[in-house]
Amino acid sequence: MSNVVIVGTQWGDEGKGKIVDLLSEFADIVVRFQGGNNAGHTMVVNGKQFISHLVPSGILQKKICLIGNGVVVDPAVLLEEIDYLNSKGIDIGPEKLRISEKAHIIMPYHKQVDLAREKMNGDKKIGTTGRGIGPSYEDKATRRGIRFVELLDSEVFSERVDIILKEKNFYLKNYLSSDTLDFNEIIDLYKNYSKKLAPYITNISIVIDEAIKAGKQILFEGAQGTHLDIDHGTYPYVTSSNTVSGNACCGAGIGPKEITGVIGIVKAYTTRVGQGPFPAELFDATGDKIQKNGAEFGATTGRKRRCGWLDTVMLRNSVRLNGLTGLAVTKLDVLGGIKSLNICTGYEYDGSIIHDFPANLKVLAACKPIYETMLGWSEDISSIRKIEGLPQNTRNYLSRIEELIKTPVNIVSVGPGRDETIVINNPF
Ligand code: GDP
Ligand code: IMO
Ligand code: MG
């Protein structure tokens, strides 16, 4: 019996959605445990693309999908996603999707504060997705949040909104010079959400516990990436939740002894959306080529992703922070046709060599990558399904990653489609 956590090792968009969709075949339940609709997870099955922001990527494999207490949920986005999936013929009724009663709700003022703050901060902005994620987690921590369990009780919900909105409107108007929000409009809107979502709300910790006791297998789907983690990422250029594997337990309501494996998703190069330092970033024609060949545009905001070489300083950090048991290397096909490939193995800072990812952002921003150069390959590898079938230089690239970060590659992805995959060792 296996329960596996899947996390991003870089700055998000590593291809978690694809690998979660693939491995969901072997799971009974798929759980999102943090983040919100800042995530954009892409699945491609039989040539058809699906992007999910909140619903776990196990839905296409018809698995039970749970949204954990650690997630912040925008009910409008969730309902849209339910309608979208239903319109595609994917059944997503309350027997398939459950939402934790303890998950916090994204309110209209969260989005408004997020956008107005970013505008006010100008070139000092974080480059958030503007979905209200940070302000929602902020309210959770300061005990001004509203959970689904409160949404279901209209009296309590009105009382909470009444108190919180006064403060939010004061802040929006007087500090952020933004529009204020109307109490009655919010109440009416959320009454409607409450009615529609009530059948989905439950205690998912109990659902998971009962499933584990019945011998079922659980897949925990991380969002964002390790270097966007609120504690361990490039703070303050991070998201507002813990993205590392340890949070799967807290954000779903289970104990750590249940986890049997942790797979880190590694894009074969590095990308980042939004602001913040990126030592191995490319500003040349190779960077443009990777951006173009990899179609590196954000699945949530459509922004162009910044591209750079693979950075094993970051990856070693991810191995330790997540306790990775294996890797899934994605988008390897995108590197085809690049004559020589660089792998960052360390940073040079102020005349010395650094091997550990620094916490000080001024230091990180001044770090110069130290590269090891490997021969690339020109073959199209997207139709290859066995590791032995890959060109020798491609295999050398994978082996070098394993050596440098001392973690085995379990899965290799050579295209966006579910079937465009080489499974070396299935974690389930
Ligand atoms: P996530 O946020 O980690 O789930 O990743 P995204 O879905 O935001 O971004 C990954 C993008 O790469 C999506 O468009 C995927 O369809 C695509 N993708 C995933 N794996 C591969 C791969 O091996 N090769 C190629 N070419 N594209 C891939
Ligand atoms: P998936 O799950 C890539 C980035 C934003 C910004 C920072 C803070 O698809 O990998 P936020 O809206 O969370 O307050 O923004 O985090 N970010 C992501 N980047 N992939 C994501 O999710 C991201 N979710 C947030 O671009 O830099
Ligand atoms: Mg994404």
Q: What is the mean pLDDT of residues 106-112?
A: 98
Name the token pair of 207.
Answer: 């659902």
- Separation of CA 398 and ligand 2 centre (Å): 27
Atom of ligand 1 nearest to the CA of 334: 26
Sequence spans of domains, the chain: 3-100+201-261, 104-197, 266-423
**In this predicted structure, what is the pLDDT of residue 245?**
98
What is d(CA 230, CA 132) in angstroms, rounded to the nearest whole number? 15
pLDDT digits (tens, 9 = 90+) for 355-408: 999 999 999 999 999 999 999 999 999 999 999 999 999 999 999 999 999 999
Mutation choice for ligand 1 from 331, 385, 409, 422, CB with most ligand atoms inside 8 A = 331
Mean pLDDT of 217-224: 98
pLDDT per residue as tens digits for the range 5-43 = 999 999 999 999 999 999 999 999 999 999 999 999 999
Local confidence band at 199 (pLDDT 50, 70, 90 cut-offs): very high
The residue whose two tokens read 């075949």 is 25
Q: Which atom of ligand 2 is nearest to the CA of 41?
A: 9
What CATH number does domain 266-423 carry, 3.40.50.2300, 2.40.50.140, 3.40.50.300, 3.90.170.10? 3.90.170.10
Interval between CA 239 and ligand 2 midpoint (Å)? 6
**% of the chain residues with pLDDT over 70:** 100
- What pLDDT sits at residue 185? 98
Given a cut of 90, whether residue 97 has pLDDT beyond it is yes
Give the pLDDT confidence of 244-290 residue by residue, as tens digits. 999 999 999 999 999 999 999 999 999 999 899 999 999 999 999 99
Token code pair at residue 250: 């807290």
Distance CA 61, CA 24 (A): 6
pLDDT band at 142 (very low <50, low <70, confident <90, very high): very high
Q: State residue 304's pLDDT score.
A: 93
pLDDT for res 302: 87
329-356 residue pLDDT tens: 999 999 999 999 999 999 999 999 999 9
Q: Which residues are catalytic?
A: 13, 41
- 283-311 pLDDT per residue, tens: 999 999 999 999 999 878 888 999 999 99
User: What residue type is 222 in one-letter code?
Assistant: G
Ligand 3 center to 54 CA (angstroms): 11
What pLDDT, on the 0 to 100 scale, is given for residue 262? 98
Answer yes or no: are the C-beta atoms of 89 and 52 closer than 8 Å. Answer: no
* Structure confidence at residue 139 (pLDDT): 98
Q: Is the pLDDT of residue 419 over 90?
A: yes
Per-residue model confidence (pLDDT) at position 284: 97
Calculate the CA dihedral of residues 288, 294, 296, 300 and round it to 10 degrees.
170
* pLDDT band at 168; cut points 50, 70, 90: very high
Q: Check for a shared fold between 3-100+201-261 and 266-423.
A: no
* CATH code, residues 3-100+201-261: 3.40.440.10
Taking the CA of 74 as reference, the closest ligand is 2
**Residue the block writes with tokens 């394993």:** 402
| pLDDT at residue 298 in the model | 85
Contact 374, 340 (CB under 8 A): yes
Question: What pLDDT shows up at residue 202?
Answer: 98
Stretch 97-121: mean pLDDT:
97
Does domain 104-197 fall under CATH 3.90.1150.10? My reply is no
Helix (H, G, I), strand (E, B) or coil at 167: helix
Task: Say if ligand 2 is within 6 A of residue 228 CB.
Answer: yes
Q: What is the pLDDT of residue 53?
A: 97
Residue 410 has pLDDT above 90, yes or no: yes
The Cα–Cα gap between 159 and 129 comes to 29
Supply the pLDDT for residue 102: 98
Complete DSSP assignment for 392-410: HHHHHHHHHHHHHHT--EE
User: Considering the chain, what is the average pLDDT of its residues?
Assistant: 97
Question: Which atom of ligand 2 is found nearest the CA of 13?
Answer: 10
pLDDT of residue 300: 80
Predicted local confidence at residue 301, as pLDDT: 83
The pLDDT score that the predictor gives to residue 379 is 96
What is the model's pLDDT at position 299?
Answer: 79
Ligand 2 centre distance from Cα of residue 374 (Å)? 31
